[in-house]
Amino acid sequence: MTSKLAWQQATQTVMAAGRVLIVTHVKPDGDAIGSMLGLAAALRERGIEVDTAVDGGVPRYLTYLPGAGEVRSALDTGNWDVMISVDASDEPRSGLVGVYGREHSAVVINLDHHPTNTMFGDVQLVAGEAVSSTEVIYDWLVHMQCAISAPVATALLTGLLTDTIGFRTSNVVPRTLEIASVLMQCGAPMYDLIQRTLVSRPYSDLDLWRYALPTMRLNSGIVSVVVSQANLREVGLDESTDGGLVSALIEVDEAQIAIVFKEEPDNTVRLSIRSKPGVDVGTVAFSLGGGGHAQAAGATVPGTLEEVQARVLPLLRAALTQG
C-alpha cells in the first residue's frame, strides 16, 4: 500500500517540476509502455513538460499508444527536475536511459507494483498488491482528482490487461474489474486492446517455438525449454524475445513451474519463469539478481545454458517443495 504521505510528496514534487522524465524497464511489455505513456499523457494534459525514454524504444505492437512516436530510445542530452521510473523493481532494470536519467534529474520517484522492489529513489509509490503499474498510476490520478482522458485510459487499460493476461492471474480482485470498467467508460477500447496485445503475435514467434519445443522437458512438475542464439538466428530474430513461450508452457496441467532458458550473446542466460499459485518463483528470481512477482519473474544469469540450468533447476525444485 502506498501511504497518503507518499502520494502527497509525489504530487507536490511533480506539480512543482518544470521538466519531468519518465523511464521504464528494458525489454518493455504492455504495462511498462502503458504506464510510461499513460502517465506522460496525463501530466502533459496538466501543462507539465514530459520526456519519455526506454532502451531500444517502443515495441512495434505497442506503437498505437498515445505519444509512442516521441519516446526516446537513448538519452545523451537533457536535464530534468524529476525522473519517474515506472514498472522497474530496481535501478539496473531501467537500463542506460535510467543511468543517464538518474545522473541528470534532481529527484527520483519510484512507481512500481513488484513485491521485489528495492525501494530505490527519493519517493516510493510502490504497491505490491496492484495487478499492474498502470493501476498505481490510476490510483495516483484519482488521488490528484484528475479526470481521465480517452488516451490516458487506453494506456492504463493496456497495462491492466497485459499484466493480468486478460484478467486471468490470481491477483485479480473485484476492484481490478471496477478500474477496468471506469477506464472503458473513459473511452478505452477494451476489445481492440485485447486483440492488439493478447490475441495476436508475429509468425516469427511460432517459428521460434518450432525450434525451441524439441528441447522441452517435463521433470517433477517443472516444464522447461531452451532457446539458443542459433535458434534466434534461424528465425531471423536477434531481438530479445522468447515469443511468449513461457506463458504457453505454464498452461501444461502437469507443471507447477514453467521456465525458458534463453541464451544471450554476452555469455549470460535470460530466465523467464512462471508458476501456479502457491509456488513463489519471484523469490528465486530475486536471489539470482532478478525479480518479479510470485507467479511471474525473470533474471539474467551469467554462464552457459548448461551451467545455468544446473544452477537454477535445483532452486526451482526447492521452491516447489516449500510451496
**List of residues contacting Mn ion (CB under 5 A):** 31, 87, 133, 163
Q: How far apart are CA 52 and CA 67, in angstroms?
A: 9
Determine which residue in the list 100, 298, 309, 316 makes contact with ligand 5GP, applying CB under 6 A: 298
Number of residues that bind ligand 5GP (CB under 6 A): 16
One-letter amino acid of 12? Q
Query: Interacting stretch for ligand 5GP, rule CB under 6 A, among 13-21, 128-136, 289-297, 303-311?
Result: 289-297
The single residue listed with the C-alpha cell 506503437 is 63
Q: How far is the CA of 264 from the CAs of 89, 260, 280, 287, in angstroms?
A: 22, 12, 25, 20
Please state, in angstroms and rounded to a whole number, the distance separating the CA atoms of residues 124 and 140.
12
Residue 10's Cβ-side half-sphere holds a number of Cα atoms within 13 Å equal to 27
Picked from ligand 5GP, Mn ion, none, the partner binding residue 291 (CB below 5 to 8 A depending on kind) is ligand 5GP
Is the CB of 4 or the CB of 60 nearer to ligand 5GP? 60
CB of 28 to ligand 5GP, least distance (A): 9
C-alpha cell at 126: 510502490
User: Rounded to 5 degrees, what are φ and ψ at 259?
Assistant: -145, 140
- Select the span of 46-54, 150-158, 178-186, 285-293 touching ligand 5GP (CB under 6 A): 285-293
76-115 binders of ligand 5GP (CB under 6 A): 89-90, 93, 114
- Which does residue 30 bind out of Mn ion, ligand 5GP, none, counting CB within 5 to 8 angstroms by kind? none
68 in Cβ contact with 33 (< 8 Å): yes
Question: Which C-beta is closer to ligand 5GP: that of 72 or that of 114?
Answer: 114
Q: Which does residue 298 bind out of ligand 5GP, Mn ion, none, counting CB within 5 to 8 angstroms by kind?
A: ligand 5GP
- 293, 298, 299, 305: CA torsion to nearest 10: 150
Beta bridge partners of 224: 217, 259
Which of these segments, 42-50, 51-59, 132-140, 284-292, binds ligand 5GP (CB under 6 A)?
A: 284-292
H helices within 148-267, ranges in order? Answer: 150-163, 174-185, 190-197, 203-212, 229-234, 245-249
Q: DSSP letter at 185? A: H
| CA 39/CA 37 separation, integer angstroms | 5
**Residues 110 to 149: which contact ligand 5GP by CB under 6 A?**
114
Nearer CB in complex with ligand 5GP: 151/243: 243
DSSP one-letter code for 108 = E
Determine the interface stretch with ligand 5GP among 99-107, 120-128, 250-258, 293-301 (rule: CB under 6 A). Answer: 293-301
Q: Is 300 in the site for ligand 5GP (CB under 6 A)?
A: yes
Least Cβ distance, residue 33 to ligand 5GP (angstroms): 13
Q: Which of Mn ion, ligand 5GP, none interacts with 300 (beta carbon under 5 to 8 A by kind)? A: ligand 5GP
Q: Distance between CA 71 and CA 55 in Å, rounded?
A: 10
Should residue 24 be labelled a site residue for ligand 5GP when binding is judged by CB under 6 A? no
Q: Which of residues 237-276 bind ligand 5GP (CB under 6 A)?
A: 246, 272
Question: How far is 122 from 159, CA to CA, in rounded Å?
Answer: 25
Residue 24's alpha-carbon distances to 36, 90, 97, 217, 285, in angstroms, are 7, 11, 9, 34, 19
**Cα distance between the two ends of the chain:** 25
**290 near ligand 5GP, judged by CB under 6 A:** yes
The partner in contact with residue 51, picked from Mn ion, ligand 5GP, none with C-beta cut-offs of 5 to 8 angstroms by kind, is none
The residues that touch ligand 5GP, with contacts defined as CB under 6 A, are 25, 89-90, 93, 114, 246, 272, 290-293, 296-300
